[in-house]
Structure 1
């Protein structure tokens, strides 16, 4: 039987997470250039399904080492599923030459879930295996609308895939967590570290992919200025979470015991980090749109963003800030009214961002985030992340 105890994330798991984040960057590509409102909604649905699949492997890694044979071979097969899903992502709702894209994506998801359930069952003790058997029923039921939607396509695919996600999350939270006590956390240090790493990778890779999209046009001064402003923006997003919220959540997880620890892990991490990742992807999508407009324009600042682009940029940032608020709340650290005001200000600035040239619009947003980062210093200093306070 696999061993227990505190441990660190292994290089193999970082490799796994890199493949997963590559899949996320392909969701940004799927949502379009320029962004399309329907594709943005479908992209969120794809993210929720794939996040749910990845989260299952994190819980598996919390239960047993996944970098040792024979587990590693099966996890490699799951990585191949993520990779195939990434490759076909732009055709997730489209007909294309060759094999059917939606069906390939659905089959890749089924592979991910089937391998996870089999390995988690093997690694678990008798009580955990009971929970996995109950949860497996919901998972298998979710595959039916997933495969049916892939065959039907269009609007039916959207609704059926949304139903598949609801069945999966219902089995997770309604059956396992509410009735059976949830999944056990073996190593809270590992759990917090793995989530932090995947968020860092997502922040870096998503914005890198968006910046690379401008190609040789980055040598234009306005495009280069927009890229640097985007870098400042991502650095601020990183700081807001990892200097303030992340240490608080990790501290809460480490201090909790028993079922309280399991619930903090499931709520603040498995659930609470989803809007953080979604905010990163939407902000990266808006950033990509900004660079595209600047590179194509004769004027230095570029044309104003259309509503989908400005919603992605400003709304994605607001979603990320609300995600940090959710992580605080679900960790049991609470949230002040000022935190909520800070999170919704980008939404209030949407009309401003829509009216300004693209370069100025991202500049306004980055300036606001710099102010948010510097706010604790204006209040009289800031302790290092290793000794967090409740701000």
Structure 2
């Protein structure tokens, strides 16, 4: 019984009507993923063929998944305690191996990538299982379910690391499919079935803040890449214009996500009677296209900065249009989940970007960047004005009454 109580003590204390704050240990852990995001964007920049883009997408999905699973675990466990901190620091080491292996993951470092990923996923879940007291069988059973699914996918990760070429891609695609389907299937296993939605209770404010922090990581990486590239270039009218356009676009993305959306999401998940279901959909799955859009936009910024007046090739068009498009699609779905209605400003932005794609090849990279930035500014301004008007209407009615 004493051992069970000691293991149970690793969980965060539940304080009614109070958010569990994001700890310094979690923020320290996130630093590894600043590097991982940089590796992803640089890898995509240098390898933009269809096959290489597919490979990089797979690596991005893996990076996001290992991070978001850690966010779930630290929502339950208390990072202020030494054993949990040691877990996070161990995961940081694995994350560094994972991140440094990204550029050559489909070449000489595939096994290193696979071993680091599998060790992080399985090791972290084993720690969770060991932390659950036997007096809490539903939570313990949930940890066992997760461990079985992740152990199954780990086999395919390692097989892929040992394989080469298309076989590696196939094995890793199967591994990712297993992991991405598992939460939707609620980690169903034979004999014991699926977990209940009550088993996925989370502290909503903490989960929302953790995912918002990853958005900051992606935006920060975009600004760092833009600044580093601009510093090495001759400061001409074209490069300065491209730099300003990239910076303003990053601000517009921040505004669209954080001005009202992040706060509304935090409030909604905190009040929800099923925070686990909302966290799984809005934060685990729907933040994927948001982050992917930011990373793809960072690739476009670097392409535009280095060749602002050249012809817009396919790589420039796909990244310059695809980045904002992915971001808006992810954001509108995220906000629909928390608000229950589609944001008209985001719909308009998506439509205008789709129209721009037809003419993008005829524009210079700089003009393409300026136009996409203008579209993002339009979306941000439209949403802010519409939400302010909607908030002012009830107040006006109350005053007149």
Same fold (TM over 0.5): yes
Is the Cα–Cα contact under 8 Å of residues 230 and 243 in structure 2 kept in the other structure? Answer: no
Q: Match for residue 294 of structure 2?
A: 280
Q: Deviations over 1:145-196 (max 9, x none)?
A: 2122222222222222111011112222213389312453342211111111
Deviation at 1:348, TM superposition (A): 2.5
**Structure 2 Cα separation of the partners of residues 208 and 162 of structure 1:** 31
Alignment of 1:370-385 (within 5 A): 370-376=377-383, 379=386, 381=388
Q: Match for residue 196 of structure 2?
A: 181
Runs ≥4 in structure 1, deviation > 6 angstroms?
none
**Structure 2 Cα separation of the partners of residues 35 and 313 of structure 1:** 13
Deviation at 1:380, TM superposition (A): 8.7
| Structure 1 counterpart SS, 2:123 | helix
Q: Match for residue 325 of structure 2?
A: 318
Residues 379 and 349 of structure 1: CA distance in aligned 2, closer, same or farther (over 3 Å): same
Deviation at 1:256, TM superposition (A): 0.6
Residues 186 and 378 of structure 1: CA distance in aligned 2, closer, same or farther (over 3 Å): closer
Deviation at 1:21, TM superposition (A): 2.6
**Structure 2 Cα separation of the partners of residues 254 and 337 of structure 1:** 25
Q: Match for residue 121 of structure 2?
A: 113
Partner residue of 2:366 out of 353, 359, 371: 359
Deviation at 1:70, TM superposition (A): 1.8
1:149 and 2:146 aligned: no
Q: Match for residue 60 of structure 2?
A: 47
Is the Cα–Cα contact under 8 Å of residues 43 and 103 in structure 2 kept in the other structure? Answer: yes
Alignment of 1:112-131 (within 5 A): 112-124=120-132, 125-131=136-142
1:212 and 2:220 aligned: no
Residues 47 and 71 of structure 1: CA distance in aligned 2, closer, same or farther (over 3 Å): same
- Which 5+ residue runs of structure 2 have no aligned equivalent? 1-8, 392-401
Aligned residues: 371
Bigger Rg, which one: 2
Partner residue of 1:36 out of 44, 49, 59: 49
1:291 and 2:300 aligned: no
Alignment of 1:219-230 (within 5 A): 219-230=235-246
Is the Cα–Cα contact under 8 Å of residues 34 and 309 in structure 1 kept in the other structure? Answer: no
Is the Cα–Cα contact under 8 Å of residues 315 and 347 in structure 1 kept in the other structure? Answer: no
Q: Deviations over 1:105-163 (max 9, x none)?
A: 11110121122102221333421110121221111111122122222222222222111
**Structure 1 Cα separation of the partners of residues 211 and 195 of structure 2:** 24
TM-score (norm 2): 0.86
**Structure 2 Cα separation of the partners of residues 238 and 220 of structure 1:** 27
